Amino acid sequence: MEQIENILKIQIKPLEACDMYDKTQFTTSVPVKPIPKTFSREPLREDSIYNPKMSFFTSIIKKKKQAFIDENDEKFNVDYKKWQEECDKISNDNSNAAALYAKEFEKWEKEKSEFLRNKEEFNKGIDELFVSYRNGDKDASEIYYTELLERINLPLEYENETKCEYNAGSKMLIVDITLPTVDNLPNIKKVTYVKSSGEYKESYQSDAFMKKMYDKAIYDIVLLTLKVLFAANDPNVEVIVLNGKVNTIDKTTGKAISPCILSVNVSRESFKELNLEYIDSMEWFKSSKGISAATLTKITPVAPIVEISKEDSRFIAGYEVADKLDVSVNLAAIDWQDFENLIREIFAEEFNSNGGEVKITQASRDGGVDAIAFDPDPIRGGKIIIQAKRYTNVVGVSAVRDLYGTVMNEGATKGILVTTSNYGNDAYEFAKGKPLTLMNGANLLFLLEKHGHKARIDLKEAKELNNQKSFKN
């Protein structure tokens, strides 16, 4: 409860480029250099084993003496030949082990070099992003502020989603934030131990208290958000429009909705005059001509002062592919445009049931985006970047890095990479802890089947077909 009352005291420093660097480490272990097998001692004719003591009787009989000598010569020759064969085998094993090690080490060095190069390029891209942001670039500004706000750690358990849109002409930043519902606030007043029953009894806050606490918490969150944004001291942002939305359920339909329950327009000049240590956030909101219902707990929708646009010039009309599929169709060998449209179509089926939409982009202008999903779902919702890779080879970490960079550039909440093939270990390692989903061929077939479509993936067949096409060309 105390943490909620002190929301305005949360401190978030402005972002520096280093805060957004890729700091992942190359985790693949260096191949272990094999220890060469050693040769056993070379047998010598002079060794005692080949020169046993000759009996007196044998020594005086010429034939027996010679037979004795011949027998030990033969024993030496057999052992020596065996020793030579063993030496040859050891030499061959050592040579093979050294060759395998050299190959594995070369591969490891190549993978490490690629990893470090991609990491360096990514971090260089972050540096360039910050240069663009400081110059007032639209995309860079939206990425910066989205990333900044996502670092606010509120003392509440709920799915916090942020969207930003920057207008350079008016120096206006439009921000959509997700607010908690009253159910996300703790309502336990105290816990008492009942000696007679040996149980703990909970008592709860009154509805009136919860409504009051909820309203204060919401307006405090609004003020905190503005404090964090203006603290960046960006001369390219003079005005911020903040829209607060909640993810809830429409009791009349049972469907998930995300209504806007408040909206406020604040200038930098007016905000810097505020003393946040003693401010009453609710009174400030009213004086700032903010729009909201009298009681926020009722989740009364209001019209945003300025709304974030979903329009994108890259969007084009898609066409249907899924209904033409059957088990004879090899997805790894179909036309790449058909594949991208199929991915758009199947994700549309996945998201449309929840009120979302998926749009495909023009190939020459997609900027690393094959499709964009707008999902209102309270858990997985937001702007989702989808990339389709109709590959026959393993997808490396570079493609996953590119997707992550695109997610950041687009100000999206998540990225999904779909391939007909599979991903390398470095790709999965890089995706850990990031808003990325990697779907391989098996995942794709499962998703298709989920929505009633059948197909197959045969990478070997697709490779052969590609080779035939290359040969003809």
What pLDDT shows up at residue 355?
Answer: 64
Q: What DSSP string describes 270-323?
A: HHTT--TTT--HHHHHHHTT-EE-SSGGG------SS------TTEE-----GG
* Pairwise CA distance, residues 322 & 455, whole Å: 9
In a domain, 307, yes or no: no
Tell me: do 123 and 146 sit in the same domain: no
What pLDDT shows up at residue 364?
Answer: 40
User: What digits encode the pLDDT tens for the residues 379-400?
Assistant: 556 788 888 888 888 888 999 9
- Specify whether the CB–CB gap between 65 and 54 falls below 8 A: yes
Tell me: do 154 and 123 sit in the same domain: no
In a domain, 80, yes or no: yes
In a domain, 85, yes or no: yes
The domain containing residue 386 runs over which residues?
315-472
Tell me: do 118 and 185 sit in the same domain: no
Q: How far is CA 137 from CA 93, 140, 266, 409, in A?
A: 61, 5, 21, 11
Task: Retrieve residue 253's tokens.
Answer: 């339909």
**Of 218, 23, 33, 204, nearest to 120 (Cα)?**
23
Tell me: do 407 and 438 sit in the same domain: yes
Tell me: do 236 and 270 sit in the same domain: yes
> Domain end: 128, 163, 187, which one?
128
What pLDDT shows up at residue 253?
Answer: 80
Tell me: do 288 and 150 sit in the same domain: yes
What pLDDT shows up at residue 219?
Answer: 93
DSSP secondary structure letter of residue 411: T
In a domain, 105, yes or no: yes
What pLDDT shows up at residue 362?
Answer: 56
Domain count, the chain: 3
What pLDDT shows up at residue 245?
Answer: 92
* Pairwise CA distance, residues 95 & 344, whole Å: 52
Tell me: do 143 and 124 sit in the same domain: no
> Domain end: 77, 96, 128, which one?
128
In a domain, 11, yes or no: no
What pLDDT shows up at residue 309?
Answer: 61
In a domain, 338, yes or no: yes
In a domain, 459, yes or no: yes
> Domain end: 70, 99, 128, which one?
128
Tell me: do 258 and 224 sit in the same domain: yes
What pLDDT shows up at residue 381?
Answer: 64
DSSP secondary structure letter of residue 31: P
User: What digits encode the pLDDT tens for the residues 189-229?
Assistant: 667 767 777 777 777 678 888 888 888 989 999 999 999 99
In a domain, 110, yes or no: yes
Residues of the chain with pLDDT below 70 are 1-2, 187-190, 193, 204, 309-319, 353-356, 360-369, 376-381, 468-473
What pLDDT shows up at residue 367?
Answer: 41
CATH number for the domain harbouring residue 468:
3.40.1350.10
Tell me: do 149 and 73 sit in the same domain: no
Tell me: do 114 and 143 sit in the same domain: no
Tell me: do 91 and 191 sit in the same domain: no
Tell me: do 371 and 251 sit in the same domain: no
